[in-house]
Amino acid sequence: MARKSAVLIPVIVAAVAVGGLGLAFIPPDVKNKDADLSKGTVRIDDDVITVEIAETAAEKQRWLTFRQDRLPFDTAMLIKHDRPDLHEIWTLNIEYNIDLIWFDEGGNAVYMKKDVPPCPNMLDQVGCTYKPTSPALYVMAATSGFIDEHGISIGSKMTPISI
């Protein structure tokens, strides 16, 4: 009987190769299609920010992937989860550097990462995954420089206006 590793290793290599080819040859109409996300507004400290809201599982997976246009500094992507947890973000297929902010259920910024680069290698899930140290209900992603532009720090308050 063949050893498990003699069977599993080629299967894993083939799966990674097929997945890599799939990512490399994504049709342009899928790659360049903007996700039609609902829009809303939030206040962070004294600044009003327009947000594109990802709520469904598909929207959370798609969020900023393959998006060519950088979000202006008065706009951000808001991923809304059902319950607070250590929600992680994987930056695979993100086209530009971003700032990430996690907010708890009270709207307080509990964790931030500035100038997060796109993931250069789909096999580097650990190096391209960002996870807060405190439970959060919302994750905000914006163009790099957003945190500094709005003076956001740990403890900054996000108040939903229309989400």
Binned at pLDDT 50, 70 and 90, residue 124 comes out as confident
Q: Are strands 136-143 and 75-85 parallel, antiparallel or unpaired?
A: antiparallel
- Percent composition of the chain: helix, strand, coil (DSSP 3-state, to 5): 20, 35, 40
Distance CA(52)–CA(54), nearest Å, equals: 7
CB 89 within 8 A of CB 119: no
CA dihedral (84, 85, 89, 90) in degrees, to 10, reads -140
- Average pLDDT (74-83) is 93
- Neighbouring C-beta atoms of residue 143, cutoff 10 Å: 19
Would you tell me which CATH number, out of the four given (2.60.120.1140, 3.30.1360.40, 2.40.30.10, 1.10.10.60), belongs to the domain 35-162?
2.60.120.1140
The pLDDT value given to residue 33: 46
The whole-chain average pLDDT of the chain stands at 84
Domain boundaries, the chain: 1-33, 35-162
- Mean pLDDT, residues 110-137: 90
Question: β-strands 75-85, 47-54: how paired?
Answer: parallel
Higher local confidence (pLDDT), 37 or 16:
37
**What per-residue confidence (pLDDT) applies to 110?**
97
pLDDT at 51 over 50: yes
Q: What is the mean pLDDT of residues 133-141?
A: 96
Would you state the pLDDT for residue 24? 57
* pLDDT value of position 2: 62
Residue predicted with more confidence, 74 or 20: 74
Average pLDDT over residues 29-52: 79
Mean pLDDT to the nearest integer, 138-148: 96
